[in-house]
């Protein structure tokens, strides 16, 4: 199949099989074929999201050495990147949420390390929910949860979660891929929207692996999927592998958009960049506090972008930022019943 046929299939909103996604990923990133696929992905993103893009505001509720020891993460205990640890006071969490809302973020996201106290997460969610607008989606990025816990998160005021089966899950950390998958099911069964991503992509990942993970994310009917490259944080054990270029990441962002069902509106990339938006990314995150890709405690003073910067990047690419609450979440496909089953990513079998 050539690129014209791939684009023709996309125009017809047809499903892509693994070999076709591998083909999309196999073109040299600087080729006209890759550029054509990026343009088509941007067209699809604009079509499904009414020509609007989104910025979500994410802040960390804690900084702590994490025993799950994901090799790529600056919080991993064995990477020994940070010397200090802290938990954000509830009043600061509310202040950050209100700040993001005032700056025009379309959703607010709290991020924790895996062992953050679950009761405290619920308490802070209730606090934030009491203060932000009822229509502003509140999203969690936290550790694995049971169905009971997922329902408690929903009751506490969360509308959705970011959760992913990461590339190399179970191989380069201490988390069973099955557990990540079960958590996604639990969230969806509890009525929480799930956004996900193909991440963290490194130079060593093959097109086969990426295509399988793209198809896995499609199989969960997410509020958004997308792609994010791995940032080589100094002193982390994967830093020596290096990084893929923004152009290669944009190519993966495009392939992911084309392979998602059209009911999935969102297509994320991280970190925010013009090439990602050109290739169909319509979700960026602004960040405050610690993050797993940075060795500075306040990422807003280093790698992290604020809402204004994200807006500027979108402007450079001719994208218009949505005003008001996220539609990626509020108009996302209803969570599917776990009984429908999901694809099993290859990493789930290691």
The one segment of 20-28, 64-72, 249-257, 273-281 that binds ligand SF4 by CB under 6 A: 64-72
With residue 63 as reference, give the H or E element that holds it.
strand 62-63
Site string for ligand SF4, 32-61 (x = CB under 6 A): ------------------------------
313 binds ligand SF4 per the rule CB under 6 A: no
C-beta separation of 194 from 219 below 8 A: no
Positions in 106-135 near ligand SF4 (CB under 6 A): 113-114
Positions in 168-207 near ligand SF4 (CB under 6 A): 173
Q: How far apart are CA 104 and CA 282, in angstroms?
A: 15
SS3 112: coil
Q: Binding residue for ligand SF4 (CB under 6 A) from 9, 18, 43, 68?
A: 68
Structural tokens at position 161: 């979660």
CB closer to ligand SF4 out of 230 and 311: 230
CB closer to ligand SF4 out of 60 and 247: 60
DSSP 138: E
The label of the residue with tokens 């009491």 reads 130
Q: Binding residue for ligand SF4 (CB under 6 A) from 38, 66, 93, 255?
A: 66
Q: How far apart are CA 59 and CA 100, in angstroms?
A: 9
The label of the residue with tokens 């088509």 reads 40
CB closer to ligand SF4 out of 76 and 108: 76
Cα pseudo-dihedral 264, 269, 272, 276, rounded to 10? -90
The one segment of 22-30, 68-76, 212-220, 308-316 that binds ligand SF4 by CB under 6 A: 68-76
Q: How far apart are CA 192 and CA 125, in angstroms?
A: 14
Site string for ligand SF4, 245-274 (x = CB under 6 A): ------------------------------
Positions in 69-108 near ligand SF4 (CB under 6 A): 69-70, 73, 75-76
59-85 residues labelled b (16+ CB within 10 A) or e (exposed): bbbbbbbbebbbbbbbbbebbebbeee
Q: Catalog residues that contact ligand SF4 under the rule CB under 6 A.
A: 66, 68-70, 73, 75-76, 113-114, 173, 292
């Amino acid at each position: 199949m050539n690129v014209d046929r791939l684009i023709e299939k996309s125009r017809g909103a047809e499903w892509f099989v693994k070999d076709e996604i591998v083909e999309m990923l196999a073109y040299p990133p600087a080729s006209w074929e890759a550029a054509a696929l990026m343009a088509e992905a941007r067209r699809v993103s604009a079509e499904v999201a009414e020509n609007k893009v989104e910025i979500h505001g994410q802040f960390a509720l804690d900084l702590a050495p994490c025993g799950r020891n994901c090799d790529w993460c600056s919080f991993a205990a064995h990477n020994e990147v940070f010397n200090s640890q802290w938990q954000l006071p509830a009043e600061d969490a509310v202040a950050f949420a209100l700040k993001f809302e005032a700056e025009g973020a379309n959703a607010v996201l709290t991020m924790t390390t895996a062992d953050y106290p679950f009761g405290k997460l619920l308490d802070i969610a209730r606090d934030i929910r009491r203060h932000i607008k009822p229509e502003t989606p509140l999203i969690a990025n936290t550790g694995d949860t049971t169905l009971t816990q997922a329902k408690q998160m929903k009751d506490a005021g969360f509308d959705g979660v970011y959760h992913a089966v990461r590339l190399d899950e179970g191989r380069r950390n201490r988390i069973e891929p099955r557990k990540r998958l079960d958590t996604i099911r639990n969230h969806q069964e509890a009525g929480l929207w799930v956004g996900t991503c193909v991440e963290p992509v490194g130079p060593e990942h093959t097109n086969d692996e990426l295509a399988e993970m793209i198809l896995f994310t499609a199989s969960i009917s997410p509020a958004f999927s997308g792609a994010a490259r791995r940032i080589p944080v100094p002193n982390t054990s994967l830093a020596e592998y290096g990084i893929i270029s923004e152009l290669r990441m944009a190519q993966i962002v495009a392939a992911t958009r084309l392979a998602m069902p059209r009911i999935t509106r969102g297509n994320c990339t991280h970190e925010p960049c013009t090439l990602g938006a050109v290739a169909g990314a319509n979700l960026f995150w602004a960040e405050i506090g610690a993050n797993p890709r940075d060795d500075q405690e306040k990422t807003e003073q280093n790698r992290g972008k604020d809402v204004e910067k994200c807006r500027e990047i979108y402007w450079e690419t001719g994208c218009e930022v949505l005003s008001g609450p996220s539609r990626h979440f509020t108009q996302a496909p209803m969570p599917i019943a776990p009984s429908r089953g999901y694809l099993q990513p290859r990493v789930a079998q290691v």
